[in-house]
Amino acid sequence: MSDWLHPAWPYLAGAVVSLLAPGPVARPFLLLAPAAAVAIAWNLPDGARATATVMGQQLTWLAVDALGRVFAIIFSVIGGLGALYGVPFPSRRLHTAAFVACAAALGIALAGDWLTLYVAWEALAVASFVLVLDGGTGRAAKAALRYLLVHVSGGALLLAGIAWHLAAGRSSSIQRLELGGPGILILLAFAVNAAIPPLNAWLTDAYPESSPAGTVFLSAFATKAAVYALARVFPGHELLVWAGVAMALYGVVFAVLENDIRRLLGYHIVSQVGYMVTGVGLGTPLAVSGAAAHAFSHILYKGLLLMGAGAVVHATGRRKLTELGGLWRAMPWTLALYMIGAFSISGAPLLNGFVSKSLVVAAAELEHREVVAWLLYLASVGTFLHTGLKLPFFTFFGEEQRITPRPVPGATLAAMAVTAALCFAIGVAPAAMYRLLPHPVSYEPYTTEHVLGMLQLLAGTAIGFALLVRHLGGEATVTLDTDALYRPPGRWLARSAAPAVARVADVLESAVGRAVALPVSDIPRALQLRLGSAVLVVLVMLGAVLAFLSIIG
């Protein structure tokens, strides 16, 4: 028996209760489970370890240090805030999958060996797939399947990398790797989850299709778990500096063209994760702490922004800038709380984004990486332009659309208010967050020069927006992303593999259906074929991994 509790356990218990218990019984657990997880994560001491032997393998399912703990704390916190936001949405699927995703993210942050990391990694992919499905539409089902295929592919890369690493007789504990051999495969797997272009399209494809609450959970885990993994395994690799800068700018360019409010915010996840990846690539203690701090802040302010956008979608049933406008009278609290998130992500003083973004940029400046720093300032301009100006202007002001929105539930607004309060509290008292970071930080963001500089940056951007506002409204278009590269060959592959897919679906219907005593024949044939294709892809991926491992000996 271990001396330590894992913060994932309350979430797993909460998931079981959400799945099995009647609504009134399950509802208290939506808040009790996260509260217990936060308490456990907060009190885990450095060096705490716990192991178990599974099928002859010793797994270190808990290994605590400052880097893992800061991610564990924020994963636990956002689970509670997301659950509070989701209380008015009585979906067993949502709450069960969300809590499993929280547990899996915590499993990643506190994993002490590669196999534990892999199991948690795959569990997060499956739980996130279900969260995308929670959108409940045909588009959501298709996006969820694409999400699963991309992440199964990433998982196969991770498994292959881990197996190669272990087969070479190296340590099973998670340590820094070089970019060669298995390190390449593992880096690629992390890059898929971090949404580093060109491996980014799954994010903006899937997240906007989930339910309002589902999107809040999705935004918190996959990319930030990848940032954690990069910080643990690949700090200080120059490649990541430029990958991060490219992400930061890629997101803002695509956000200009975006009409869907949650997809627009999705592009800004890519952009903000770019800051974190840059920090990891710089690799100095300040930069890695900055990356961790920015992940911590980002989970809060991005959660708040998506809560606001989700409230709009819930209240109006609309999601496009071209269909929205004039909501400020009907939704003043949603607007006010959304704007706190918008100012935070834009780096406005007194909010957490100002502190954490400054840490990463200052780390670049201290290393005399002026080009990197100014490109990150440019990304900051784009961030304020879209999330702080374009989206709220065309959603809450702009052309009146005569919409009569449904009231936003009280619990939803309460979740937004608590999240906004946390953004503000960390912004005015950053020492509380500094104490959690992996390396000691003495950086002072509130110098007169820095505050005035950032206010000037925001004011200059606002002038640009005011000059160009007529050209910035939504357009009824879709934007090609990097998925345009693999969707056509994917479709060709799907058509070519149709006979095999049909056979797998038949096997599902007969063998699996009998084995689990489920009426599989009642499942529509189209869904059977989709499941069949997913199973086939998984089998092909695992076959490829086995073949690869047999080749490398």
Partner 1 sequence: MRAIAVLVVVTALLAVAEVVLVAGPHYPRGVFAVFGLLGCVTIVVVSKLLGKIWLQRPAPSDE
**Minimum Å distance from CB 139 to partner 1?**
8
Q: Is 446 in the site for partner 1 (CB under 8 A)?
A: no
| H or E element in which residue 63 lies | strand 57-63
Nearest to 363 by CA among 428, 281, 296, 427: 281
Q: Rounded distance, CA 212 to CA 314, Å?
A: 7
Strands 49-54, 57-63: pairing kind: antiparallel
In the complex with partner 1, the residue whose CB is nearer, 257 or 544, is 257
**Residues in CB range of 49: below 8 A, 6 or more apart:** 4, 60, 62, 63, 64, 112
For residue 67, state whether it binds partner 1 (rule: CB under 8 A). no
Question: Least distance (Å) from partner 1 to the CB of residue 546?
Answer: 39
User: Can you tell me which of 83, 454, 520, 545 binds partner 1, judged by CB under 8 A?
Assistant: 454
> Judged by CB under 8 A, does residue 223 bind partner 1?
no
Compute how many residues bind partner 1; rule: CB under 8 A.
Answer: 40
Residue 374 or 492: which CB sits closer to partner 1? 374
Paired tokens of 531: 């499941």
Q: Which of 461, 505, 530, 533 contacts partner 1 by CB under 8 A?
A: 461
| Residues from 475 through 494 that contact partner 1 (CB under 8 A) | 475-480
Contact flag: residue 520 with partner 1 (CB under 8 A) = no
Torsion, CA 136, CA 139, CA 142, CA 148, rounded to 10:
-60
Residue 549 interacting with partner 1 (CB under 8 A): no
In the bound complex, what is the minimum distance in angstroms from residue 75's beta carbon to partner 1? 32
**Tokens, residue 375:** 């490109």
List CB contacts of 85: < 8 A, sequence separation 6 or more: 212, 213, 216, 307, 310, 411, 412, 415, 416
Window contacting partner 1 (CB under 8 A); options: 121-129, 146-154, 178-186, 254-262:
254-262
Q: How many Å apart are CA 212 and CA 35, to the nearest integer?
A: 22
User: What does the block give as tokens for 3?
Assistant: 């001396």
Spatial CA neighbour of 510 closest among 523, 497, 496: 523
Query: Which position among 449, 489, 551, 553 is part of the footprint of partner 1 (CB under 8 A)?
Result: 449
Smallest separation, CB 33 to partner 1 (Å): 38
Reference 252, options 461, 39, 528; nearest CA is 461
Residue 1 within binding range of partner 1, rule CB under 8 A: no
Contact pick of 42, 242, 333, 377 for partner 1 (by CB under 8 A): 377
What is the C-alpha separation between 398 and 270, in angstroms, rounded?
A: 27
Token pair belonging to 68: 């893992």
Q: Which is nearer to partner 1, 155 or 474 (CB)?
A: 474
Which CA distances in Å does 151 have to 30, 125, 547? 27, 6, 20
> Does 345 help bind partner 1 (rule: CB under 8 A)?
no
Per rule CB under 8 A, is residue 350 in the interface with partner 1?
no
Interface with partner 1 includes 367 (CB under 8 A)? Answer: no
Q: Taking CB under 8 A as the rule, does residue 378 contact partner 1?
A: yes
Among 181, 236, 326, 464, binds partner 1 (CB under 8 A): 464
Structure-token pair, residue 374: 């100014």
Q: Cβ distance 504 to 525 under 8 Å? A: no
Work out how close the CB of 447 gets to partner 1 at its nearest, in angstroms, rounded to a whole number. Answer: 9
Q: Select the residue interacting with partner 1 from 29, 254, 296, 396 (CB under 8 A).
A: 254
Residues 6+ apart with CB under 8 A from 91: 134, 211
Of 345 and 537, CB closest to partner 1: 345
Residues 175-194 touching partner 1, rule: CB under 8 A, are: none
Give min distance, CB of 258 to partner 1, in A.
10
Q: Which of 168, 452, 507, 518 binds partner 1 (CB under 8 A)?
A: 452
Identify which of residues 476 and 515 has a Cβ nearer to partner 1 in the complex.
476
Q: Which amino acid is at 141?
A: A
Which of 35, 466, 507, 511 is the binder for partner 1 (CB under 8 A)? 466
Complex with partner 1: residue 235 or 274, whichever CB lies closer: 274
Cα–Cα distance for residue pair 99/18, rounded to 1 Å: 9
Q: Which two tokens stand for residue 254?
A: 């695509």
Length of the chain, please?
553
Residue 402 or 471: which CB sits closer to partner 1?
Answer: 471
The interface with partner 1 within residues 108-147 (CB under 8 A) comprises 139
Task: Please identify, using beta-carbon distances, which residue of 20 and 452 lies nearer to partner 1.
Answer: 452
Q: How far apart are CA 174 and CA 229, in angstroms?
A: 9
Q: What letter would DSSP give residue 323?
A: G
CA-to-CA separations, 10 to 89, 276, 315, in angstroms, rounded: 21, 29, 32
259-298: contacts with partner 1 (CB under 8 A): 259
| Binding of partner 1 by 368 (CB under 8 A) | no
Nearer to partner 1, 4 or 486 (CB): 486
- Judged by beta carbon, residue 6 or residue 319, the one nearer partner 1 is 319
CB closer to partner 1 out of 257 and 411 = 257
Nearer Cβ to partner 1 (236/473)? 473
Q: What one-letter code names the amino acid at 121?
A: W
Closest CA to 346 of 391, 313, 312: 391
C-alpha distances (whole Å) from 116 to each of 49, 101, 386, 539 are 13, 15, 39, 22
Bridge partners (DSSP) listed for residue 113: 173
462 binds partner 1 (CB under 8 A): yes
Interface contacts to partner 1, rule CB under 8 A: 139, 252-254, 256-257, 259, 374, 377-378, 381-382, 385, 448-449, 452-468, 471-472, 475-480
